[in-house]
Amino acid sequence: MALKLFLQDILDVMTPEMFLQHLTNGISLGSLYALVAIGYTMVYGILRLINFAHGDIFMMATYFTFYSIVMFSIPWYVTFILVIIMTGALGMVVEASAYRPLRDAPRISILISAIGASFLLENLAIVIFGGRPKAFPAPELFTKVFMVGSVSVQRLTIIIPVVAVVLLFALLYLINNTKSGMAMRAVSKDHETARLMGVDIDRTISLTFGIGSMLAAVGGMMWGLKFPQIAPLMGVIPGLKCFIAAVVGGIGNIKGAVIGGFILGIGEIMLVALLPSLTGYRDAFAFILLIMILLFKPTGIMGEKITEKV
Amino acid sequence: MKKRNIILTLVAVLLALLFLWFAKENFDAYKVRILNLCAIYTILGLSMNLINGFTGQFALGHAGFMAIGAYTTALLTMPVAVKQQNFFLAPIVEPLKDLTVPFFPALLLGGIFAAVVGFLIGAPALRLKGDYLAIATLGFSEIIRIVITNAQRVTNGALGLKGIPNTTNLWWSYGTAVVTAVFIILLINSSYGRAFKAIREDEIAAESMGISLFKHKVMAFTIGAFFAGVGGGLLGNLLGTIDPLMFRFFLTFNILLIIVLGGMGSITGTIISAFIVTIGLEWLRFLDQSINLGFVVIPGISGLRMVVFSVLLMIVVLFFRHGIMGTNEFSWDKLINRLNKRPLVKGGTK
Amino acid sequence: MKQLRIDNITKQFGGLTAVKDFSLELNNGEIIALIGPNGAGKTTAFNMVTGVYRPTKGKIYFKDTDITGLRPDQITRLGIARTFQNIRLFKDLSVLDNVLIANHLHIKSNFIEATFRLPRYWKEDRQMREKSLSLIEKVGLIDLRNEKASSLPYGMQRRLEIARALATNPEVLLLDEPAAGMNPKETENLTEFIKQIRDEYNLSIFMIEHHMEVVMGISERIYVLDYGVIIAEGSPYEIQNNPRVIEAYLGVSEDA
């Protein structure tokens, strides 16, 4: 009975148009999460390690974009390419300085180093870029609004999922059909064996960080276009959420990360839309989802089970 | 234990007491506050080390437990009138409104409440390992913070609490720190402590020796949460003001830095490092503020202090993985041997 | 009543069947051995008995109690202890601590009593220390009791692992390659030692071993596992003359 009333309430506030509006918002947010989640899942797949700094690399990309467009007046299409390259390089630098020296160290040390790298990037951003939020320069091309029936849609809302899907297929092609991709898959299965087979482990890991960071750069720029305010700590919560998306989808699995991203993005938007009283708990949704998944299906939706050898 | 060591320990304790007494009488409020913070961070470091260093469970939920302790103690010790002033957006819930208890039971309740939540979180989360556990506890800690931010009528939400009685003084903070240290030293040297260390060393072997992983992990986690809650309670009643933003992941990071620098699995290392980190963080404040040299003003760069600290943490992990003490403890024999530059007698003391 | 009865257990990892329809019985006071080429599934069988893996199919009984699917600590508590093929000592802890830890499962004091050293804990602690020291003495490590476990030579680490297993007060002891890495002299001592502890502690012993001197010297019965399946069972004499066993070990192929 109570449930019926509850559903009635939802139907009262939710017209089909509104539902579509929320769904498109959810898909576009989910695509952003997916882009960043792929980076987590790739690094985890290869190193069995949460790259705590990934959210901060994402943040750095938005600042790179800001300075390139606002300070140096570089046109946005050149900026986008520059930023992707710079962010990829940043990811490789982080790997070389915070992770590579600890390759044979206990996992706990690597984890602490990762947290240290994350804090360093955040605080460097505060020192270099200033703690106050800045307005992200969004070209009108992306932000224009058009109407589909009675649903108003920003161009971006369509562009983001399209970009995400294109990049996903490009990445899958790279991993399944190129030599570097084969090396990545080999390293993710077994470092020692891969080394014996002549794979350059350090180069492959570095490449993985580079590609993951480049995807985070795209995610960061899209994020900036969608939520045009950037700040040094902006990467923390999206970073955690995208890691959660990766876990929900099955960590180490790229398609899983995308699925997880969509579940999280759509779930979050719908939660707030359907139950406005829970708006304050929006950020808790991801964590609750994480805990549920870890308790009931720790391998995630697409993940494989790993048995510890005794 | 040799007679000499007992005497040395007593002398050290006496000197420490004298120093505290001297500090209480003669130091300015700012220095006393730092000294208090040193003791509180010692408590927090010890409790986190019990979970992370001695039991080997990489949990990152400390800020959440501290928040619970801080809010509980604050709400139970604030005078009724002050509570009314604080809760101007929405009135405070009924039983808390007129409830005021003395500091000690309030602190204890803060710890117990944190321990209960710790148990409820630990029971499911400790089935996870490594970075999954880290992220799950971090998530729980965030959820606690989000709940506190939203429970307007209990916690005053994002506005925080102001005018908490400044009950925490040097005696309270150092007294609690000593009690915590003694409790944890006794615990880790008991059979239960050995079981914790066994789990840290090798979970599969520990389980095969009949040690219930679940029971002992949850036990260490709950005890750790208790002391984190007590530390949080002391902190709130030292600062006089608390709000949900204080208890972000950053706070857990500070404590993590303390135990990494001191040595995961060393009590004395944690104590030494709690002082170094607390005083260091204060001392480095000059980096954030502008310095006036009379003829020229060097502008401070806000955030530089934390850059230095992040770099410090990374240097410690990258180059001095075992921190100051590793898993060793301070002893008079080692100190005297070192002073005399004699090689250490193998097999320890006799 | 059998001390241990394994009834048709099977373990699959994904598509791979590591052990198939494995059955075995261990009588009171008996020493039996499980042999077979590397990768035959011997340790997997051990891991199922001790609860590290859950069998895909089949049952395991300890003195008529069904222990299938129990946790390792519950199984140890009932009276089955083990050692590990790749030695799993608590490396950073002392020899004495390693053995003391194995006493913890019998403790009755709670953590408050233990922390504040209340009388009951005081008594229990003294008892477990005495027992541990006598076990350490038995395995000849008494002078090294305060050394770190990882600092011991290989052979001593194996003996320490046995002492640790004995400290749990087992009725059944599972030894996973106790003689691995030992020289002939050490192996000979070990053989004597296993017999001795069996008699002294009234144990039933089930071991995996490659050293044939040990296996043939002390086992009353031998099971041979190949590709996850038992291919032979019998006395040392029967096994030595079993053509299937010889084939499995020497890899004699069908065209021979």
Set out the domains of chain C in order of their start, with CATH numbers.
4-79+170-250 (3.40.50.300), 91-156 (no CATH)
pLDDT at B241: 95
Q: What is the mean pLDDT of chain B?
A: 89
> Cβ contact (<8 Å) for C43 and A310?
yes
CB-CB contact of A217 with A32 (8 Å):
no
Lowest mean pLDDT among A175-179, B220-224, C24-28: A175-179
Q: For C101, which of B195, B327, B348 is closest by C-beta distance? A: B195
Highest mean pLDDT, choosing among A297-301, B226-230, C10-14: B226-230
Q: Are B226 and B46 in contact (CB under 8 A)?
A: no
Q: Nearest 5°: CA angle at B195, between B251 and C71? A: 105
Residue in C closest to B210 by C-alpha: C73
Phi and psi, residue C9, nearest 5°: -85, 145
For residue C233, which amino acid is it? E
Confidence (pLDDT) at C125: 95
Instruction: Provide the pLDDT for residue B341.
Output: 66
CB contact under 8 A, B321 and A105: yes
Dump pLDDT digits (tens) for A17-38: 788 888 888 999 999 999 999 9
Report pLDDT for C251: 63
Distance from CA of B166 to the nearest CA of A (A): 31
Residue B91: per-residue pLDDT:
85
Closest Cβ opposite residue B132 in set A109, A116, A294: A294
Chain C partners within 8 Å of B46 (Cβ): none
Find the closest chain A residue to C52 by CA distance: A310
Give the model confidence (pLDDT) of C198-222 as tens digits: 999 999 999 999 888 888 889 999 9
Per residue in C128-157, pLDDT (tens digit) is 999 999 999 999 999 999 999 999 998 889
Of B183, B202, B212, the CB nearest to C90: B202
Instruction: Note the pLDDT tens digit of each residue in B40-53.
Output: 999 999 999 999 99
Token couple for C80: 């089955």
Query: Which of chain B's residues have a Cβ under 8 Å away from the Cβ of A107?
Result: 130-131
Q: Do A126 and B318 touch (CB under 8 A)?
A: no
Distance of residue B310 Cα from the nearest chain C Cα, in angstroms: 29
- Among partner residues B190, B207, B209, which is closest to C115 by beta-carbon distance? B190
Q: How far is A303 from chain C (nearest CA, A)?
A: 13
What average pLDDT score do residues C25-49 get? 92
Taking CB atoms and an 8 Å limit, are A291 and B140 in contact across chains? yes
Which chain C residues are closer than 8 Å to B325 by Cβ?
Answer: none
Set of chain C residues whose Cβ sits within 8 Å of the Cβ of A106: none
Chain B: nearest CA to A61, how far in angstroms?
19
* Strand residues in chain A grouped as ranges (E): 134-135, 145-148, 151-154, 229-230
Least confident stretch, A65-69, A142-146, C8-12: A142-146
Distances in whole angstroms, Cα of residue B187 to Cα of each of B54, B197, B206, C49: 11, 11, 18, 33
Residues of C with CB below 8 A from A307's CB?
13, 53
- Residue A307 has its nearest CB partner, among C13, C43, C84, at C13
- Nearest CB to B190 within list C82, C103, C114: C114
Inform me whether the pLDDT recorded for A104 exceeds 90: no
pLDDT surpasses 90 at A292: no
Asked whether residue A305 carries a pLDDT value surpassing 80, the answer given is no
Spatial separation of the C-alpha atoms in residues B60 and B52, rounded to whole Å:
9
Burial (CB count within 10 angstroms: exposed 0-12, middle 13-18, buried 19+), residue A145: exposed
Q: Please tell me the distance from the alpha carbon of residue B31 to that of residue B179, in angstroms, as a whole number.
A: 23
Does the structure show a pLDDT above 70 at C164?
A: yes
Mean pLDDT estimate for chain C: 91
Q: Residue A207 CB: number of other CB atoms within 10 A? A: 23
Confidence of residue A131 (pLDDT cuts 50, 70, 90): confident
Q: What would the mean pLDDT of B52-56 be, rounded to a whole number?
A: 94
Residues of chain A contacting B306 with CB distance shorter than 8 Å = 119, 122-123, 126
Mark yes or no for CB contact B140/A240 under 8 Å. no
> pTM (2 decimals)?
0.89
Per CB-CB distance under 8 Å, the chain C contacts of B192 are 104, 111, 114-115
Q: Does B207 touch chain C (CB under 8 A)?
A: yes
pLDDT surpasses 50 at C256: no
* Contact residues, chain A, for C84 at CB < 8 Å: 310
What's the gap in Å between the CA of B208 and the closest CA on chain A? Answer: 11
Best of B54, B133, B135, B315 to substitute, by most chain A Cβ atoms within 10 angstroms, is B135
Residue B68 binned pLDDT confidence (cut-offs 50, 70, 90): very high
Nearest to B12 by CA among B261, B270, B271, B265: B271
Query: Which percentage of chain A shows pLDDT scores above 90?
Result: 38
DSSP string, B21-84: HHHHHHS-HHHHHHHHHHHHHHHHHHHHHIIIIIS------HHHHHHHHHHHHHHHHS-HHHHH
- The larger pLDDT score, comparing residue A103 to residue B200, is at B200
Does B325 score more than 50 pLDDT? yes
CA distance B218 to B196: 10
Q: Cβ contact (<8 Å) for C84 and A307? A: no
- pLDDT grade for B25, boundaries at 50, 70 and 90: confident
Residue A2 confidence (pLDDT): 62
Over residues B260-268, the mean pLDDT reads 91
Contact C97 B197 (CB under 8 A): yes
164-223 in chain A: CB under 8 A from chain B = none
With 80 as the cut, is the pLDDT of residue B35 above it? yes
**Burial (CB count <10 Å: 0-12, 13-18, 19+), residue A239:** buried
Q: In chain B, whose CA is at the least distance from the CA of C146?
A: B347
Alpha-helical (H) ranges within chain C are 42-49, 72-78, 95-101, 111-115, 119-138, 154-166, 184-201, 212-218, 236-240, 243-250
Q: Are the Cβ atoms of B313 and A288 closer than 8 angstroms? A: no
Tell me how close the Cα of A305 comes to any Cα of chain C, in angstroms.
9
B186:C168 CB<8 A: no
Task: For residues B286-300, give the mean pLDDT.
Answer: 68
More confident residue, B343 or A234: A234
Q: Which of A60-64, B260-264, B322-326, C41-45 has the lowest mean pLDDT?
A: B322-326
The percentage of residues in chain C with a pLDDT greater than 70, rounded to a whole number, is 97
Residues 249-308 of A with CB under 8 A from C: 307
pLDDT of residue A1 exceeding 60, the answer is: no
Host H or E run for residue A24: helix A16-47
Which of B125, B309, B314 has the CB atom closest to A117's CB atom? B314
Inter-chain contacts counted by CB atoms under 8 A, chains A and B = 115
Poorest-pLDDT segment among B341-350, C94-103, C149-158: B341-350
What's the pLDDT band for B210 if we cut at 50, 70, 90? Answer: very high
User: Could you give the CA distance from residue A224 to residue A40 in angstroms, rounded to a whole number?
Assistant: 20
Mean pLDDT calculated for residue range A189-193: 83
Smallest Cβ–Cβ distance between A113 and the set B146, B249, B318 belongs to B318
Lowest mean pLDDT among B17-31, B301-315, C16-30: B301-315
| Residues in chain B within 8 Å Cβ distance of A232 | 303
Q: Give the model's pLDDT for residue A68.
A: 92
pLDDT at residue B9 is higher than 70: yes
Average pLDDT over residues A153-176: 88
* Alpha-carbon gap: B139 to the closest alpha carbon of chain A (Å): 5
Nearest CA in chain A to C43: A310
Strand C204-208's sheet: what is its strand order?
C80-82, C172-176, C204-208, C31-35, C221-226, C229-234
| C52:A307 CB<8 A | no
**pLDDT tens sequence across B248-257:** 988 998 899 8
pLDDT for B174-184, tens place per residue?
999 999 999 99
Q: What are the chain A neighbours of C53 within 8 Å (beta carbons)?
A: 307
Residues 6+ apart with CB under 8 A from A16: none
B139 vs A105: CB contact, 8 Å cut-off?
no
User: Is the pLDDT at B349 greater than 50, yes or no?
Assistant: no
Q: C52 vs A310: CB contact, 8 Å cut-off?
A: yes
Over range A66-86, report the average pLDDT: 91
DSSP assignment, residue B91? P
Chain A: give the shortest CA distance to residue B56, in Å. Answer: 9
Taking the CA of residue C30 and the nearest CA in chain B, the distance in Å comes to 22
What does DSSP say about strands C221-226 and C31-35: parallel, antiparallel, or unpaired? parallel
Nearest CA in chain B to C105: B210
Task: Kindly list the residues from chain B whose CB atom is less than 8 angstroms away from the CB atom of residue A236.
Answer: 249
Chain B adjacent subunits, 3+ CB pairs under 8 A: A, C
The pLDDT, as a whole number, for residue A306 is 56
B to C CB pairs, distance under 8 Å: 101
Residue among A116, A240, A283 minimizing CB distance to B314: A116
Q: Between A and C, how many residue pairs show a Cβ–Cβ distance under 8 A? A: 6
pLDDT recorded at residue A280: 82
Amino acid A132: pLDDT: 87
